Homo-oligomer: A and B are copies of this chain.
């Protein structure tokens, strides 16, 4: 498997992201292009002006609350300088997304703005796939429980299955495997993120070649796990965290998606 960073000029609202990517790399049939959700959101003009939410840190907190509500989510708590949010955006077929600050970040956004995910990540991957002719993975940086450091996840894909189903496959000793899903999209996003980075030298995309992954016509959010089925028991408020300035929803689960 070959992974190459795709470096573009600094992206601005209104830029044609697909054209910038196409101009910066030579794609071959079967390639997968991993694209930063924040780069896509920037080009789509989805920079949130913090002044419209209030002043200082409170403005960012209010922007996080608004983004959480937009994605039918819940603020779980405020720990380690992060507002932990559980999101259930329209179109997500299964489970929830448990992420810092509803995906919003003040880094890598112009001063006075926050940048998060595209308004409709599935529309973003669809448009990128149509324009580039490659399969697309929309990635975002994230942290994992008890793990130090930033890694990444896949939000949405177009042109490949996010999971490899191992049902019926055998282990080295011929027995049927118990765990039956391999997180293909998350692993590809993580591999790409290592080359994309989070600092000034960062690349908004990466090209993945010779991956051996069968292409498919699937397009959508990458499913998660329902809180009740997850092996990790996350505390819902009150969770013993420091008192928070944010209003806490008291529901056990995020609100149901509108039907």
**A residues adjacent to B (C-beta < 8 A):** 1-4, 10, 76-77, 79-82, 84, 86, 94-98, 100, 106-111, 143-153, 162-163, 166, 169-175, 177-179, 181-184, 186-188, 190-191, 193-195, 197-200, 202, 211-212, 222-225, 227, 229-235, 239-241
Contact = CB atoms under 8 A, between A and B. Distances in A.
Which of A97, A152, A166, A211 gathers the greatest number of chain B CB atoms within 10 Å?
A166
Which of A169, A200, A222 gathers the greatest number of chain B CB atoms within 10 Å?
A200
A224 to B, nearest CB: 5
Contact of A200 (B149, B170, B200): B170
Contact of A232 (B98, B212, B222): B98
B232 A146 contact: yes
Contacts of A145: 98, 144-145, 230, 232, 234
Q: How many copies does the complex hold?
A: 2
A54 to B, nearest CB: 20
A234 B170 CA distance: 33
B235 A80 contact: no
Contacts of A232: 79, 84, 98, 145-146, 232, 234
Given A175-B107, A200-B171, A231-B84, A95 B191 contact: no
A111 to B, nearest CB: 7
Contacts of A193: 187
A51 to B, nearest CB: 17
Nearest to A227: B146
A238 B106 CA distance: 37
A241 B231 CA distance: 10
